[in-house]
């Protein structure tokens, strides 16, 4: 088995030369006659350049094939091998990571498991974000959750910057929201997932996650790129953390935003996330509020779904983009809205209702032209975000 990596180099860079530098320098390194008796062993661990393609833009893409035996089967050793020291050597960007099916791990819950837990199998899921992000108390979170839960919301998450802060400690937020979730289930029979943000030092995070689950957390939010891939892997394989883990893309732009350095988004938020055990992954939608390429978004979608991971397009999602989102994703998508729900002029409950009205309207083939939409939560949302 092997691992294939595509490296894209800008015009003027000798791609074949640089690819050979990677193949040798990121594996065995050079050797001389003193080690000629180890030649056979070196060849087993040496990477190889298997193709170089020059594009019309003048960029070139080189594919390097690495032996799987050079890694420990995790994301950390993989990244160290494919783009460790060389990442500081000048222009070059990883644009594809092709791993064996059994590399890393699959999600413990995943797309199908999230649907099973919610008992919703025939439509997209609707997700909200607690807003404002900072400054709310645990009681404030409870009030917001009560509103959106009554409207039939499927999932809500902490904002990624809402950590274990004095104004609303994580365990206090969880306990307060857990009461609403339990009451909603007793009243309506409907489950609601609350992705609680798990934070801490490396040696604390796993214990913190277990503590949250023991206190009723039925989902977790984790900022993988700021806290570490190995932490995600530990969370994802621990049997006591038996709830879906929603991976947030915080810091992804620093790794992926430069045109000729770092990684493309599909490698980080698609391939690696899908092989590290995430159950659902958030990333920008190309029609949202952050600059993002549709090709990257669709590549992320496909990489995640191939391993039963829920895609969660985010950032600027509101009821007016539902037709575009469903055209791109069909039913297997989580529509994640922060202000698109919380800033609805009639309140958060109406924000949730507007999403469900949009899904119903789309399914029945009715128009989204504002003048043709009857007075409703959806029409109010369209007037706010589409005019």
Do the beta carbons of residue 144 and residue 354 sit within 8 Å?
A: no
d(CA 207, CA 205): 5
Do the beta carbons of residue 65 and residue 4 sit within 8 Å?
A: yes
Which one, of 30, 1, 183, lies nearest residue 99 by Cα? 1
Annotated catalytic residue 85: yes
d(CA 7, CA 5): 6
Q: Would you state the torsion angle of the CA atoms of residues 206, 207, 212, 213, taken in this order, to the nearest 10 degrees?
A: 70
Do the beta carbons of residue 240 and residue 111 sit within 8 Å?
A: no
Q: Considering 17, 48, 85, 379, which one is annotated as catalytic?
A: 85
* Residue corresponding to tokens 């430069």: 258
Beta strand 280-284 pairing with 125-129: unpaired
Q: Please give the positions annotated as active site.
A: 85
């Amino acid at each position: 088995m092997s691992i294939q990596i595509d490296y894209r180099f800008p015009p003027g860079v000798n791609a074949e030369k640089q690819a050979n530098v990677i193949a040798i320098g990121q594996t065995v390194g050079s050797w001389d006659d003193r080690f000629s008796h180890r030649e056979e062993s070196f060849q087993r661990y040496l990477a190889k350049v298997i193709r170089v393609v020059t594009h019309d833009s003048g960029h070139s893409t080189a594919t390097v094939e690495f032996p799987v035996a050079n890694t420990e089967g995790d994301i950390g050793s993989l990244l160290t091998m494919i783009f460790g020291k060389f990442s500081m050597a000048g222009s070059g960007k990883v644009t594809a990571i092709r791993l064996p099916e059994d590399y890393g791990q699959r999600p413990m819950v995943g797309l199908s498991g999230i649907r099973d837990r919610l008992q919703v199998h025939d439509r997209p899921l609707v997700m909200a974000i607690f807003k404002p992000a900072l400054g709310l108390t645990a009681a404030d979170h409870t009030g917001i959750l009560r509103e959106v839960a009554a409207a039939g919301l499927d999932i809500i998450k902490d904002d990624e910057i809402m950590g274990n802060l004095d104004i609303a400690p994580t365990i206090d937020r969880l306990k307060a929201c857990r009461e609403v979730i339990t009451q909603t289930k007793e009243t309506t029979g409907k489950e609601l997932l609350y992705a609680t943000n798990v934070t801490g030092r490396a040696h604390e995070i796993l214990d913190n996650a277990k503590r949250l689950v023991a206190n009723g957390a039925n989902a977790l939010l984790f900022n993988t790129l700021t806290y570490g891939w190995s932490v995600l892997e530990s969370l994802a394989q621990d049997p006591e953390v038996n709830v879906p883990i929603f991976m947030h893309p915080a810091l992804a732009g620093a790794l992926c935003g430069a045109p000729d350095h770092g990684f493309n988004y599909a490698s980080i938020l698609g391939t690696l996330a899908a092989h590290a055990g995430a159950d659902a992954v958030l990333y920008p939608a190309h029609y949202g509020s952050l600059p993002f390429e549709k090709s990257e978004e669709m590549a992320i979608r496909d990489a995640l779904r191939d391993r039963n991971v829920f895609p969660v397009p985010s950032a600027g999602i509101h009821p007016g983009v539902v037709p575009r989102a469903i055209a791109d994703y069909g039913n297997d998508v989580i529509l994640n809205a922060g202000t698109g729900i919380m800033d609805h002029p009639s309140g958060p409950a109406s924000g949730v209702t507007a999403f469900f009205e949009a899904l119903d309207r789309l399914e029945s083939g009715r128009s989204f032209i504002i003048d043709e939409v009857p007075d409703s939560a959806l029409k109010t949302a369209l007037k706010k975000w589409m005019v």
